Amino acid sequence: MRVWLAIEEAMRLYSRMERSIGNFKFEDQDFESILAHAKRLKGKTLRAIAEAMKRPDLLKRRGKGAAGQLLHAWFGVNENDSRPEPDLPGVEIKVVPLKSSRNGLRVKERCKITSIDYNLLLDEDWLKSRARHKLLATLFIYYRYTTATTWPASTVDRIVMWQMTGSPVRYTIEEDWQRTWHYVRDGRAHELSEGQAAVLGACTSGAGKDSKWVLQPKNPSTKARKRSFALKPSFLQTTYGEAKKPSAYTHLPIVGVRDVDRDPRDRILAAFNPYVGRTLGDIADSLGIPQVAGAGTARPKHAASLLVRRVLGVMSDDKKLFELEALGIKPKTIPARARDMRPFEAMSFPAMSLVEFAAETWEDSDLRAHLENILMIPLFRTHREDDYRRGVLGIPFFWTPSTVEEKGIKREWTMFQREVRGGKAAYRRIKHQRISNLTPASKTIYIHLRPKSADGSVDDVDPQGNRTQKLCFWLNQPFVQRLLQERSGLKKPR
């Protein structure tokens, strides 16, 4: 591996070509020169950049890729270039739009790396793959997106030169690629899902009627959707966040020499191993968390979250763990009855806008994103009323819906979307209760839709303007119980 990397570096430095863009020059095989040229973009509108290049024609472009074409032209790259090689010798240029949200600027969408040709993929190995070759060094240009019609007013926000060598997620990216390769080799390309990956997803090319179906080499009787390798928003967001404020992030501690070459998910599970079977109070005492170990004031959910962070080495409450954020890992502590692993409550997800939910597609839905890479942390007690500090830590595990589970969840999600569009989320008052016509949890297998707040007092509106309660999706108790039992060996997987 090291020999191959040395050869790649030698090839990159073999020759340098100076490029002229407007009144600026840079060397296209010198990282520092490329980065310096890229930083000239920061704070400028796309209109000003086009004017600096004397390319007003680029402002007349329309469509999703117009901003990307303009910014590629800043580096002398043909705006319609679709070659499998990196845009510059050894450097791939990726343009990432940001949108405003309640939590500040957020990455708007995934970032496509290269299309997947199922036939060519089987002739590749990871070291010589097109995806890896493009990802070795990536120049991310983050810009503040406006609208499809006013995009020239968008402003370049941040420039990040990212290199895969040395990145804490490099082995995760390789595992994501290998998983896709094995699905294609086994004739299961039709079962691929973007949710199966943590960083490098196999996303669909097009959606709905625009998506394409192609033959797969190992199972020609079953067509598979056309897909592309793409970096997921959680990775792009974390890379942006750390570049913007490095002090806001910390990393998993390196415990042994093997940790350097391990997937962060393996290291996360290993961090919990010494504490499995011990009570929360005992764990908190050994980690020096007095507000959890003793008769403190921490609420159960806050106490569990605090304990998880300390187990993973996050010692400051104002720090984010890079590996958790970049892989989109959502830790979920699950208080459950020790006797049969029955959760004391369903598992909730963030509250949502029903107007936005009604307009979503499944592939780009919030729920689908929330379901990816959940870290389930069982906490067993004899009775629900027992002091939470007496809860015993079970064996944590990662869960992403299987192909069968995702189909079932999608089916129920689609049903709830139809109900919301049809006005069934609107409530009527019966005495002190507010009742809607949404399908109850007892009628579904995987998910249900109900108020987020404990008393359901927070209001929202549906697409018709009807007053509704603030709702969120929940994983059903029996389904979560089955997951816990399957992982413990008490029940066979379906």
Does the domain at residues 329-494 carry the CATH identifier 3.40.600.10?
Answer: yes
pLDDT over 70 for what percent of the chain?
Answer: 89
pLDDT, residue 489, reads: 64
- pLDDT value at 205 more than 80: no
Phi, psi torsion values for 461, nearest 5 degrees:
-130, 150
> What interhelical angle do 300-311 and 280-287 show, nearest 10?
50
Lowest mean pLDDT among 12-26, 290-304, 320-334: 290-304
Q: What is the 3-state secondary structure (H, E, C) of 446-480?
A: CEEEEECCCCCCCEEECCCCCEEECEEEEECHHHH
pLDDT digits (tens, 9 = 90+) for 59-92: 988 877 899 999 999 999 876 666 778 999 889 9
- pLDDT value at 190 more than 90: yes
Q: State the Cα–Cα distance between residues 280 and 333, nearest whole angstrom.
A: 12
Q: 87: closest CA among 177, 166, 19?
A: 19
pLDDT digits (tens, 9 = 90+) for 224-269: 999 999 999 999 999 999 999 999 999 998 776 666 678 899 999 9
Q: 448: closest CA among 375, 359, 374, 346?
A: 346
Q: State the Cα–Cα distance between residues 379 and 292, nearest whole angstrom.
A: 14
CATH number of 2-244: 3.40.600.10
pLDDT digits (tens, 9 = 90+) for 268-307: 999 999 999 999 889 988 988 876 666 545 566 777 888 8
Q: Give the C-alpha distances (Å, rounded to integers) separating 446 from 338, 420, 483.
A: 22, 18, 11
Q: When comparing pLDDT for 434 and 329, which is higher?
A: 329
pLDDT digits (tens, 9 = 90+) for 166-181: 899 999 999 999 999 9
- Rounded mean pLDDT of 347-361? 93
Give me the torsion for CA of 345, 346, 349, 353, rounded to 10°: -100
- pLDDT value at 341 more than 90: yes
Q: When comparing pLDDT for 488 and 51, which is higher?
A: 51
- pLDDT value at 330 more than 90: yes
- 89: helix, strand or coil: coil
- Rounded mean pLDDT of 89-106? 91
Residue 32: count other Cβ atoms within 10 Å of its Cβ.
10
Q: What is the 3-state secondary structure (H, E, C) of 153-167?
A: HCEEEEEEEEECCCC
pLDDT digits (tens, 9 = 90+) for 131-160: 999 999 999 999 999 998 899 999 999 999
Q: State the Cα–Cα distance between residues 369 and 66, nearest whole angstrom.
A: 27
Please list the residue range(s) of the chain that carry CATH number 3.40.600.10. Answer: 2-244, 329-494
Residue 425: count other Cβ atoms within 10 Å of its Cβ.
26
> What interhelical angle do 264-272 and 170-185 show, nearest 10?
110
- pLDDT value at 13 more than 50: no
Residue 14's pLDDT band (boundaries 50, 70, 90)?
Answer: very low
The per-residue pLDDT of the chain, averaged, comes to: 88
pTM, to two decimals = 0.87
- 378: helix, strand or coil: strand
